[in-house]
Structure 1
Amino acid sequence: MPIVIDLDVQLARKKMSVQEFADAIGITPANVAVLKNGRAKAVRFTTLDAICQVLECQPGDILRWTPDANTETEAGE
């Protein structure tokens, strides 16, 4: 997937554990793991808002786009 979630970087910056972070934003540690591992299919804006509030960051600090093989192939056609 071309969207990468850099949650680990921000958690390390704030020196927060997954459990502390999960409690602060109101989701389960398992769902935090889904986000961290890039397996999430979607993120609610309310969750993204909570993440940014707790980590004191912008959405672009945790979400970034990278081209994947399919994107590069389609762009070259």
Structure 2
Amino acid sequence: MSPAEAEDEFTGIHCRLDELLAERNMTLTELSARVGVSIVNLSVLKNDRARAIRYSTLRAICEALGCEVGELLVLAPRE
């Protein structure tokens, strides 16, 4: 991957899914069952590799975790 491609990959958004799951003693598997999103897709989101997310998915995740969107998605500093 060229440096230009790597820069294109950086979205500037960090997903705090791991931290929120840990705070709630919830597994990715349990969240997947609650929101109807595959574990693979949640893992992509959790690892900051998602390029997009549907509002309906975002809402379902936030409802399941009892959080606001701004607690789940935060700005990440550029490296």
Q: What band does the TM-score fall into relative to the shorter chain?
A: 0.7 to 0.9
Gaps of 5+ in 1: 70-77
Identity %: 39
Post-superposition offset of 1:14: 1.1
Q: The residue matched to 1:41 in structure 2 has which SS?
A: coil
**Pairs aligned (count):** 69
Residue number among 13, 21, 26 corresponding to 1:3 in the alignment:
13
Deviations 1:28-64 (A, max 9, x none): 1111110111110001000000011000000010101
Map of 2:5 onto structure 1: none
Does residue 25 of the first structure (1) align with residue 35 of the second (2)? yes
Aligned equivalents of 1:66 and 1:20: distance in 2?
Answer: 27
1:66 offset after TM fit, Å?
2.4
Q: Normalising to structure 2: TM-score of the pair?
A: 0.82
Which position in structure 1 is the counterpart of 2:48?
38
The Cα shift of 1:13 comes to 1.1
Amino acid of the structure 1 residue aligned with 2:52: A
Q: Which has the larger radius of gyration?
A: 1
Q: TM-score, normalised by structure 1?
A: 0.84
Q: Going by fraction, where is helix more abundant, 1 or 2?
A: 1
SS, match of residue 10 in structure 1: helix
Gaps of 5+ in 2: 1-9
